[in-house]
Amino acid sequence: MTIEQTIKKYAPLLKEVTHIPQKEVEILLLFILDKNPIWLHLNYKQECTCETELAKLIKKRATDFPLEYLTSRASFYGESFIVKENVLIPRPETELLVERAELILKDIKNPKVLEIGVGSGIISVILAKLIPNIQIIAVDINDNAINLAKLNAKKFDVEHQITFIKSDLFENVPDQHFDMCISNPPYIQNDFKLPRNVKFEPSNALFGGHEGDELLKDIIDNTVKNKIKFLCCEMGFDQKNSLNKYIAKFNHTKLDFYKDYEKLDRGFVVEFKHE
């Protein structure tokens, strides 16, 4: 069977799990063969030599298992990151958080940043690439996340700019000055019923407590306690009112909420005024 015929044969098996079934079969095929899309265009009529391997991956993908875990890759900010099971897959809306942080950090000389919940490392790695004189401490409660983030830091040659520490929120964070705390923490309500595909991702990267915003509130408290001026966070689409009220308790000069690509409330940037 040719490559073209093989793609046509397997695409219908993915119709229930993706709106781009043919594209996903192509991605899996290219992953197995370690080739790029240009190669595929030139070789559609070639014999397909990897049908057995492809069939295995298609079978797994048809259970809603994420494509990114099958290929160990996800793109973020135009770059290809390594991803692994047990660590959250990067989401495109987190690029908006990085953009907002960059706008502030580019005007600070030698900025010092703390990231809470580094996951695969996407936020810290991109900030390190965008701002060469930055120093980041990046923490996570999950060893798998720390190890993966280290791999990505190495891949993008920013290891010298990021120190990784295993920590429950601020617990093991060294007592030093930070200009900014940044976080995309777990913010989903504990009893929320996840879509099938998200169930393959680690629950401690997703659920933020009974209301969902408990970890965000802890991060706000700790940012104030540690006299950090800027806090940039991603949040749930329905958490603006509760977080607005919470932040109002603290002295601040600026608070901006921002929306995601679907025009849903998705995060905030606050500038605290410390005594």
Q: Which residues bind ligand SAM (CB under 6 A)?
A: 88, 90, 94, 116-120, 122-123, 139-142, 145, 167-169, 184-186, 204-205
Residue 142 or 223 having the CB closest to ligand SAM: 142
Whole-angstrom Cα distance, residue 48 to residue 3?
5
CB of 17 or CB of 169, closer to ligand SAM: 169
Rounded (5°) CA angle 229-142-32 = 115
User: What is the rounded CA–CA span in Å between residue 231 and residue 182?
Assistant: 6
Nearer to ligand SAM, 151 or 169 (CB): 169
User: Rounded to the nearest whole angstrom, what is the least distance from the CB of residue 161 to ligand SAM in the complex?
Assistant: 16
The nearest distance, CB 183 to ligand SAM, in angstroms, is 7
> Please, how many CA atoms are within 13 Å of residue 3, restricted to the half-sphere of its CB?
20
Q: What minimum distance in Å lies between the beta carbon of 145 and ligand SAM? A: 4
- Residue 179: CB minimum distance to ligand SAM, A: 19
Would you tell me how many other CB atoms lie within 10 Å of the CB of residue 197? Answer: 16
What lies within 8 Å, CB to CB, of 119 at 6+ separation is: 87, 88, 90, 140, 145, 148, 149, 184, 205
* Ordered strands of the 162-166 beta sheet: 162-166, 135-140, 112-116, 180-183, 230-234, 265-272, 252-259
CA atoms within 13 A on the CB side of 214: 10
* Closest distance of CB 162 from ligand SAM, Å: 12
Q: Which is nearer to ligand SAM, 117 or 212 (CB)?
A: 117
Quick one: 6 or 184, whose CB is closer to ligand SAM? 184
> Token pair of 24, please?
């996903």
Instruction: State the nearest-atom distance from the C-beta of 96 to ligand SAM, in Å.
Output: 11
Q: Closer to ligand SAM by CB, 39 or 237: give it.
A: 237
DSSP label of 261:
T
Q: Which is nearer to ligand SAM, 3 or 98 (CB)?
A: 98
Nearest residue (CB) to ligand SAM, 12 versus 92: 92
Min dist CB 22 to ligand SAM, Å, is 28
d(CA 257, CA 236): 12
CB of 214 to ligand SAM, least distance (A): 10
Chain centre distance of CA 53: 29
Question: How far apart (Å, rounded) are the C-alpha atoms in residues 239 and 124?
Answer: 24
